[in-house]
C-alpha cells in the first residue's frame, strides 16, 4: 500500500510501468490472502488504506486519468471483508478518528454486499 501511495503521489515522476507492477503485486497478494490469513496484520493494512483514502479521496478519482489505483484498493478491501466479514471493522484500531474516514463506509458497503450474497445463495439452493 505504501508503494501504491508513493506511486500516485509522484505523479509522472514514476514510470507508469512501475505503478502497474505495484498494483499487479497487490492483486497477486490478494489472491493468496486465504493462505496467509493468520499472519496478516489487518490493522496495519487498514491504516495504510485509510491514509491512501485520506490523501486521495473518492472525488479525486472521478477527475483522474485512471482510477485503477483506487479500484485496486477497493479490491483489497473487498477481499478483506470476504476473509473476516464484519469482524474486519474491529481492525481499525490505528485510525484515530474513523468517523472522519471514507474507509468505514466502504467496509460497511462490502459487508452488506457480502451478507446479501450469502442470503441469495441460500435462497437459490432451496429452490
pTM above 0.95, yes or no: no
Q: Supply the range of the domain harboring residue 111.
A: 2-126
Nearest C-alpha neighbor of 67 from the set 8, 9, 3, 1: 8
More confident residue, 74 or 64: 74
pLDDT tens column, 91-100: 999 999 988 9
The Cα–Cα gap between 87 and 97 comes to 18
The Cα–Cα gap between 116 and 47 comes to 27
The confidence score (pLDDT) of residue 115 equals: 82
Could you tell me the three cell numbers for 14?
Answer: 514514476
The angle formed by the CA atoms of residues 110, 111 and 114, to the nearest 5 degrees, is 85
What is the tally of structural domains in the chain? Answer: 1
The confidence score (pLDDT) of residue 118 equals: 64
The CA R_g of the chain, rounded to the nearest whole Å, is: 16
Whose grid coordinates read 501511495? 5
Amino acid at each position: 500500500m505504501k508503494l501504491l501511495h508513493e506511486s500516485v503521489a509522484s505523479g509522472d515522476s514514476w514510470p507508469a510501468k512501475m505503478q502497474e507492477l505495484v498494483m499487479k503485486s497487490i492483486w497477486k497478494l490478494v489472491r493468496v490472502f486465504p493462505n496467509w490469513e493468520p499472519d496478516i496484520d489487518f490493522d496495519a493494512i487498514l491504516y495504510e488504506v485509510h491514509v491512501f483514502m485520506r490523501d486521495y479521496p473518492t472525488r479525486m478519482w472521478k477527475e483522474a486519468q485512471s482510477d485503477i489505483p483506487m479500484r485496486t484498493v477497493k479490491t483489497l478491501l473487498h477481499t478483506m471483508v470476504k476473509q473476516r466479514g464484519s469482524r474486519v471493522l474491529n481492525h481499525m484500531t490505528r485510525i484515530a478518528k474513523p468517523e472522519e474516514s471514507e474507509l468505514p463506509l466502504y467496509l460497511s458497503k462490502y459487508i452488506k454486499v457480502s451478507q446479501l450474497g450469502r442470503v441469495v445463495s441460500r435462497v437459490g439452493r432451496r429452490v
